[in-house]
């Protein structure tokens, strides 16, 4: 075999290997049949913001500067694409869970989310991966309490809102690993067939609905108003209202 033939043979072999690698890469990126690539995110929203200070989100009497929450054991519920195609309604469909899917395994892990920082809403990714096609109706999850020795503001807390009430530094927090449901805003759920983004939204106005924050006290006179478990600062009534509101203050939306 002359040099020219050898060179052509090497070129063809290299080209073939390159095409095979590209094909494998494309296969790796393409979800398997009946599945789609989905990203589950989270954010916080409020209907008002301060015009005088853009580093504040106003929620009633409180100017919120930060909101952090821990999540774990996230479970996404859906009705299968096969049942939807068969004409079965969401209300009569079999509610399945995606725990066994790639996305289900990812979102179930303990996550620490910063959803408001410097008074501005932020979007955080809870997880992404393949999940079965279908209509997704809700996300069920538990708050995650950060362990002792965490060396952060979230130590021993599962949710923390920080800001000011009448210029006094204020903290509103939970330690319980409370189970919450984020129900889809659409009564039909959200169709997943192809790349999809869905978002767990914490409604700050709803969390503090009916809570008279102007009555919050600094009972131990340490310079910070605290609304948390154990009647901290004597604000047990306000704490109970916030905890109860939280159950209906989380929703599922689709972008």
Give the model confidence (pLDDT) of 18-74 as tens digits.
Answer: 555 544 444 456 879 999 999 999 999 986 544 344 456 889 899 999 999 999 999
pLDDT category at 148 given cuts 50, 70, 90 is: confident
- pLDDT for 4 equals 54
Residue 174 structure tokens: 């939970």
pTM of the model: 0.85
- Assess whether 15 and 101 both reside in one domain: no
Q: Is the pLDDT score of 16 beyond 80?
A: no
Whether residues 55 and 146 share a domain: the answer is yes
> Domain range holding 128?
34-254
Helix (H, G, I), strand (E, B) or coil at 51: coil
pLDDT at position 251 over 80? yes
Residue 223 has pLDDT above 60, yes or no: yes
Looking at the fold, whether 9 and 41 belong to one and the same domain comes out as no
Looking at the fold, whether 141 and 118 belong to one and the same domain comes out as yes
Examine the domain organization and report whether 63 and 46 are in the same domain: yes
Q: What are phi and psi of 125, to 5 degrees?
A: -90, 125
Q: Which residues contact 25 (CB under 8 A, 6 or more apart)?
A: none
Same domain for 46 and 86: yes
Q: Are residues 166 and 185 in the same domain?
A: yes
* Residue 96 and residue 16 share a domain: no
User: How far, in Å, CA of 79 to CA of 119, rounded?
Assistant: 38
Residues 172 and 245 reside in one and the same domain? yes
Please, what is the average pLDDT of the chain?
Answer: 88
């Amino acid at each position: 075999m002359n040099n020219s033939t050898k060179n052509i043979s090497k070129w063809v072999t290299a080209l073939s290997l390159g095409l095979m690698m590209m094909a494998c890469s494309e296969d790796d990126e393409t979800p398997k049949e009946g599945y789609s690539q989905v990203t589950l995110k989270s954010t916080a929203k409020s209907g008002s913001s301060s015009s005088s200070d853009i580093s504040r989100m106003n929620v009633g009497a409180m100017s919120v500067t930060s909101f952090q929450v821990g999540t774990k054991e996230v479970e996404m519920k859906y009705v299968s694409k096969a049942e939807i195609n068969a004409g079965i309604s969401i209300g009569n469909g079999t509610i399945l869970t995606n725990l066994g899917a790639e996305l289900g395994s990812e979102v179930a892990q303990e996550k620490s989310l910063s959803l408001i920082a410097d008074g501005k809403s932020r979007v955080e990714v809870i997880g992404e991966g393949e999940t079965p096609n279908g209509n997704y109706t809700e996300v069920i999850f538990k708050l995650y309490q950060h362990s002792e020795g965490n060396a952060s503001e979230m130590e021993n807390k599962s949710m923390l809102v920080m800001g000011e009430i009448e210029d006094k530094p204020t903290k509103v927090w939970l330690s319980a690993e409370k189970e919450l449901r984020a129900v889809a805003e659409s009564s039909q759920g959200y169709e997943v067939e192809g790349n999809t983004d869905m978002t767990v939204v914490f409604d700050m106005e709803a969390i503090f609905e009916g809570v008279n924050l102007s009555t919050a006290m600094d009972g131990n006179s340490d310079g910070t108003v605290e609304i948390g478990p154990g009647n901290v600062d004597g604000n047990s009534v306000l704490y109970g209202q916030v905890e109860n509101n939280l159950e209906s203050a989380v929703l599922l939306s689709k972008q």
